């Protein structure tokens, strides 16, 4: 199973994205991860440690049996989908709130392939990959536990609110510890 992250934030690899991409590599393994549309030489070098890297967009590659994960898709991803597809494509993009539907605009509308949803709430890229992997490993979407919105205390009564859906396991939110540390250290988001 190959998990493909189509980088959609232009030539720049923001630290936030990098930390999510690194977390994705920890989730699915370097050998199962392909980053596409990586134009910057520096970004390619940074990401090679965590997966295969391709400068071309997924729209330029001739892949078969692919599925795009899009919040607007009609069908929910199911464990049986692992038998129908070899590759799952995720839009690597820093989310806006409210969502601007950029995965649909930049991927779903450009590729003639099946689409699946992970529910109707926007997720971070690493949460989407984690959720998809859990489903493809056999857990149905309905049996997964989520938390909509996350508040991260920073200091002195200040916090950062993330208006996205996060998956929970054993009552604990799955989020990159490095990303949380980065948010706490950063002066402004």
Q: What is the mean pLDDT of the chain?
A: 90
The domain total for the chain is 1
- Does 168 fall in a domain? no
- Does 178 fall in a domain? no
**Residues across the chain:** 189
pLDDT digits (tens, 9 = 90+) for 133-147: 999 999 999 999 999
Q: Give 106 or 72, the one with higher predicted confidence.
A: 72
User: Tokens 């989730």 — which residue?
Assistant: 27
- Does 32 fall in a domain? yes
Q: Where residue 157 falls among pLDDT bands split at 50, 70, 90?
A: confident
- Does 102 fall in a domain? yes
User: What CATH number has the domain bearing residue 132?
Assistant: 3.40.1280.30
């Amino acid at each position: 199973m190959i998990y493909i992250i189509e980088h959609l934030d232009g030539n720049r690899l923001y630290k936030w994205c990098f930390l999510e991409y690194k977390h994705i590599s920890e989730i699915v393994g370097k050998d199962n991860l392909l980053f596409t549309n990586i134009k910057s030489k520096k970004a390619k070098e940074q990401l090679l440690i965590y997966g295969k890297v391709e400068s071309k967009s997924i729209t330029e590659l001739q892949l078969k049996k692919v599925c795009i994960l899009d919040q607007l898709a009609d069908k929910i991803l199911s464990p049986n989908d692992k038998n129908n597809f070899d590759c799952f494509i995720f839009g690597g993009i820093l989310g806006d709130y409210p969502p601007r539907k950029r995965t649909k605009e930049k991927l779903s509308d450009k590729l003639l392939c099946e689409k699946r949803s992970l529910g109707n709430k926007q997720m971070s890229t690493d949460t989407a990959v984690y959720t998809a992997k859990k489903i493809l490993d056999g857990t149905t979407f309905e049996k997964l536990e989520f938390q909509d919105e996350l508040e991260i205390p920073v200091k002195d009564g200040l916090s950062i609110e993330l208006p996205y859906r996060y998956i929970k396991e054993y009552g604990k939110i799955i989020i990159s510890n490095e990303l949380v540390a980065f948010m706490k250290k950063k002066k402004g988001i």
